């Protein structure tokens, strides 16, 4: 088999990134946009020693799980990867992937509990970061590239984002504002940024620029106010003049309203700044946090919340817990967390800015005890040194691990088991419908 060969292929599995998998002459062939049960003509694009990549030239037999596409840019956009299959089957695929990964890497002996998912998989995102293309059009990067695919109305975003996006695009065209070019480093506009408070209705609009000033900014504010009305709460200018793939720069200039919006999550009023981490799916985040609380049993407990972001998980349990200590490396998130605690009248919570592993050691040096430790790390999972500190120095009754990558959760599960913590139960939670991502919350209990 070589590049540009055309082969007939049956799709029998799906990868963690959402590509279909077929087998040909003993080799795995990965084909995006296909579904288990498809038989296709596959056009080979790249051949490695044991696997190959291909594109689908023609579907010969359709999977029973395929559905009609409702998005015109699905094949080109790097956002959704599973929009071509029915959602219940998508949820079942994710549950199976979580189980198989936990068994294979983590040594789990039990299957995942039933996946928590929402029957309505659209319009759930409360945050959007749109790269700006020439002419002021906005959209999303194509898969594994920085080529912008223009998309006026993403079905994962609330309709108010579409309205705001059209206002921004018209403003850019009318004022002839330049767009940043990654190769030359010249041009002004880099990204258009939106956040929504699901229950408050508040909208934050941000413009990321390669400079210090947005020409005719008042006109943009007036146009947004006209289109969004009282929902427009914040207009932010974010300054990012660095040659970097990081979207937001460190400096924010508030052009209108306040530099933050509010939402309500699990009954707690949450302040959200431009840099704050906040789960993008409000309704499913509440269900995830409810499961985390079920595992933590917070009543009367001292809880250490590592990688706490704006404090959302810990604060959701604060009224039942004896105490909450949160740790997060992002300074702006910690400021929000402390303000969130104060504004909600929560007096048994404090938040520390710092690296999770170093802060855990610091707290142990202060003789801080923890009955429950909550771990909600980034995709790379926890450092082994942190797991050692948690298990050996704090020795909590329970560890509740919230993971956005089941592979690193499985790896850390094997480490925690060696440190004397038994995996009791784990539950997938689909915060990202129509994409290949899935969250998992796991409970570990200290052994004898």
DSSP string, 274-299: TT----SBHHHHHHHHHHHHHHH--T
Domain around 190? 127-265
Query: Percentage of the chain with pLDDT > 90?
Result: 87
Residues 292 and 437 in one domain: yes
| 376 and 252 assigned to the same domain | no
Choose the final residue of a domain: 265, 295, 320: 265
The pLDDT assigned to 356 comes to 87
Query: What is the pLDDT of the chain when averaged over all its residues?
Result: 95
Spatial distance between the Cα atoms of 313 and 318, rounded to a whole number of angstroms: 9
> Is residue 53, in this structure, part of any structural domain at all?
yes
Long-range contacts of 265-269 (CB under 8 A, 24+ apart): 265/289, 265/312, 265/316, 266/290, 266/312, 266/316, 267/316, 268/312, 268/315, 268/316, 268/318, 268/340, 268/344, 269/340, 269/343, 269/344
Mean pLDDT of 28-48: 96
Q: pLDDT band for position 174 (50/70/90)?
A: very high
Tens-digit pLDDT profile for residues 191-205: 999 999 999 999 999
Instruction: Specify if 71 maps to a domain.
Output: no
- Looking at residue 432, what is its pLDDT? 96
Distance CA 274, CA 63 (A): 42
Domain count, the chain: 3
Give me the CATH number covering residue 21.
Answer: 2.40.50.140
Alpha helix (H) ranges present in 297-438?
312-317, 331-343, 356-365, 384-388, 406-418
| Same structural domain, 246 and 147 | yes
First to last CA, the chain: 55
Active site residue 404: yes
Read off the pLDDT of each residue in 226-247 and give the average, rounded to a whole number: 97
**Per-residue model confidence (pLDDT) at position 362:** 87
Q: Is 78 part of any domain?
A: no
The answer to whether position 76 is within a domain reads: no
User: Is 271 contained in some domain?
Assistant: no
How far is the C-alpha of 158 from the C-alpha of 57, rounded, in Å? 33
Burial label for 325, CB within 10 Å (0-12, 13-18, 19+), is buried
Is residue 105 included in any domain, yes or no?
yes
Claim to verify: residue 408 and residue 308 sit in the same structural domain: yes
pLDDT at 184: 93
Q: Once rounded to an integer, what is the mean pLDDT over residues 122-145?
A: 94
Looking at the fold, whether 231 and 379 belong to one and the same domain comes out as no
219: domain CATH number is: 2.40.50.1070
> For 408-421, what is each residue's pLDDT tens digit?
999 999 999 999 99
> Do 260 and 300 have their domain in common?
no
Confidence of residue 448 (pLDDT cuts 50, 70, 90): low
Q: What is the largest CA-CA distance in the chain?
A: 69
The CA angle 274-278-281, to the nearest 5 degrees, is: 125
Q: How confident is the model at residue 331 (pLDDT cuts 50, 70, 90)?
A: confident
In terms of domains, do 199 and 181 share one?
A: yes
Evaluate whether residue 94 is within a structural domain.
yes
| 291 assigned to some structural domain | yes
Quote the pLDDT of residue 264. 97
pLDDT of residue 135: 87
Whether residues 167 and 227 share a domain: the answer is: yes
Question: Are residues 232 and 170 part of one domain?
Answer: yes
Name the nearest CA neighbour of 275 among 256, 241, 255, 249.
249
**pLDDT tens digits, one per residue of 248-277:** 999 999 999 999 999 999 999 999 989 888
CA dist 365 to 29, 274, 349, 385, Å? 52, 33, 19, 16
- The answer on pLDDT for 16 being more than 90 is no
Catalytic residue among 151, 154, 382, 404: 404
3-class secondary-structure state, position 127: strand
Do 132 and 108 share a structural domain? no
- Do 250 and 293 fall within a single domain? no
């Amino acid at each position: 088999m070589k590049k540009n060969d055309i082969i007939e292929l049956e799709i029998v599995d799906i990868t963690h990134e959402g590509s279909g998998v077929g087998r040909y002459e003993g080799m795995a062939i990965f084909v995006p946009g296909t579904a288990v049960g498809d038989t296709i003509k596959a056009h080979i694009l790249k051949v490695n020693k044991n696997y190959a990549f291909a594109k689908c030239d023609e579907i010969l037999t359709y999977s029973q799980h395929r559905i009609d596409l409702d998005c015109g840019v699905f094949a080109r956009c790097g956002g959704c990867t599973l929009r071509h299959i029915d959602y219940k089957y998508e949820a079942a695929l994710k549950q199976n992937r979580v189980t198989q990964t936990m068994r294979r890497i983590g040594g789990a002996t039990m299957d995942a509990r039933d996946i928590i998912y929402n029957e309505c998989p659209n319009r759930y995102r409360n945050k959007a970061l749109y790269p700006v293309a020439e002419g002021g059009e906005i959209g999303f990067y194509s898969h594994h590239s920085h080529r912008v695919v223009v998309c006026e109305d993403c079905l994962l975003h609330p309709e108010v984002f579409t309205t705001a996006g059209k206002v921004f695009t018209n403003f850019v065209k009318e004022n002839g504002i330049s767009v940043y070019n990654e190769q030359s480093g010249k041009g002004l506009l880099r990204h258009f940024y939106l956040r929504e408070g699901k229950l408050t209705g508040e909208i934050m609009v941000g413009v990321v620029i390669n400079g210090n000033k947005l020409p005719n900014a008042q006109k943009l504010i007036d146009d947004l106010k006209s289109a969004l009305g009282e929902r427009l709460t914040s207009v932010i200018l974010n300054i990012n003049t660095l040659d970097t793939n990081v979207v937001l720069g460190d400096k924010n200039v508030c052009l209108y309203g306040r530099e933050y919006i509010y939402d309500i999550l699990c009954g707690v009023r949450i302040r959200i700044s431009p840099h704050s981490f906040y789960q993008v799916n409000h309704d499913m985040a509440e269900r995830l946090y409810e499961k985390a609380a079920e595992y933590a049993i917070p009543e009367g407990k001292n809880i250490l919340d590592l990688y706490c972001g704006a404090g959302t998980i810990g604060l959701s349990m604060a009224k039942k817990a004896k105490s909450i200590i949160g740790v997060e490396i992002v300074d702006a998130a910690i400021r929000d967390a402390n303000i969130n605690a104060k504004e909600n009248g929560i007096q048994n919570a404090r938040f520390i800015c710092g690296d999770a592993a170093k802060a855990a050691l610091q707290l142990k040096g202060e003789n801080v005890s923890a009955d429950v430790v909550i771990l909600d790390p980034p995709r790379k999972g926890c450092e082994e040194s942190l797991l050692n500190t948690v298990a050996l120095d704090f020795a909590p009754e329970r560890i509740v691990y919230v993971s956005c990558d089941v592979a690193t959760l499985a790896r850390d599960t094997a480490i925690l088991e060696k440190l004397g913590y038994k995996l009791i139960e784990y539950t997938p939670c689909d915060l990202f419908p129509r994409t290949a991502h899935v969250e998992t919350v796991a409970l570990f209990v200290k052994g004898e």
